[in-house]
Chain A
């Protein structure tokens, strides 16, 4: 084991040369490249971080805008709902008013129709009852219905108390006349009887006026200065009308239920 001193110092020199060359051609360049790459990657990371921050900001902006839009949408929706509700209320109110109006009109029309119907019924019934009664009286008792009506009227005049008679007399004193209105023509002899009876029970100088009117249903009435005595089939017909009306009402109630 010996040491060659020339080789020894040569190796030292060789090593120093190698150190210099490697430092120049290897370490410096490699470390430079590594540092440059680190810097580049660092810059890329910084850029990525910046982009990430920008993206996050953009996302937050978008989120904020979305929330604003959503709030505005909700607000608009609520307003639209309120408006629609209000419009619906108005329409409902209008419909109700129209329905009420139509109902009133319909009710009025119905009532008018019913009244017309009852009026016609009343007249028809009056005529039929009158005709039937007249025939029955004629066939069974050989009596004239008109005469019987006048008789009933004369009997009522005769049975009036003094107070009632006084009212008719007062009207006669003031120059008035008694109007006799009948639904039929009164024969002259009957008119004479009527006049005699009036003169006898009321006043001698009392004027008598005869009037024919279809408004008095199969009857006869005496009228003077607002005072009146009469007989007609009106009461009977009123009863019939009243019952018929009640029957119609019950029928309508049953149909409704």
Chain B
């Protein structure tokens, strides 16, 4: 039995409970499932962490995962890795596990809901200026919108909105379309081919989680490092005077 019918474009449309404005949709339920797995898994694994060179396999997996995310962030932002790591790591892990659980029959990825991807994109939309202002100060951050000249201000603003929209729609579009493709294939050729597509879906899910996280890092880096890149240009004449 399909949770989301073929004519339903999002799990938001599967309402499990509704009272006044409170609507508990499949999106929220699966989100809590993913959250529960992540939190309980983390508690279970990190409950018996070892700082010795010899460790459990699960700890090794988690350490590799965490170090890989930190390494990706370090490649882009160079410094302050641990400041951005919890936000970007949570984004990545949430999207990754939301997408990976699609191999469970009956499960629908919350990320195939535009509401979820929009919420994630909005958080990135607000996180970027928050990190930028905390790093550079509000004036320096706002100056970036007027560089190289004030004429670029509307383009910068449009860029902020458009990239947020792109983040939301890209993730939603990929996941939703893939689920629809699998649903159609199950109806047409129920043997073998949907399995291959399912595997492909897992790959796409991993790639989309990676893309979302990396783009977020890049946006945060562009907001926090523009001042540092401009600084050597102002210092250059002084250095030549010596």
Contacts and interface: CB of A to CB of B under 8 A. Distances in A.
Contacts, number: 114
A124 interface: no
A15 B119 contact: yes
Contacts of B28: 7, 10-11, 14
B51 A8 contact: no
B115 A34 contact: no
Interface residues of B, number: 45
B32 interface: yes
Contacts of A2: 12, 114
Interface in A17-70: 17-19, 21-23, 25-27, 29-34, 36-37, 40-41
A7 B53 contact: no
Interface residues of A, number: 32
Interface stretch (B42-50, B182-190, B199-207): B42-50
A158 B23 CA distance: 191
B76 interface: no
A252 interface: no
Contacts of A40: 51-53
Contacts of B115: 3-4, 7-8, 11
B21 A6 contact: yes
Pick the 8 closest A-B CB pairs, nearest first.
A36-B51, A11-B119, A26-B42, A29-B46, A33-B49, A25-B42, A19-B90, A23-B86
Given A18-B90, A29-B46, 15 more contacts: A3-B118, A6-B21, A7-B115, A12-B119, A15-B90, A15-B123, A21-B42, A22-B42, A23-B86, A23-B90, A26-B62, A31-B66, A33-B46, A34-B67, A37-B51
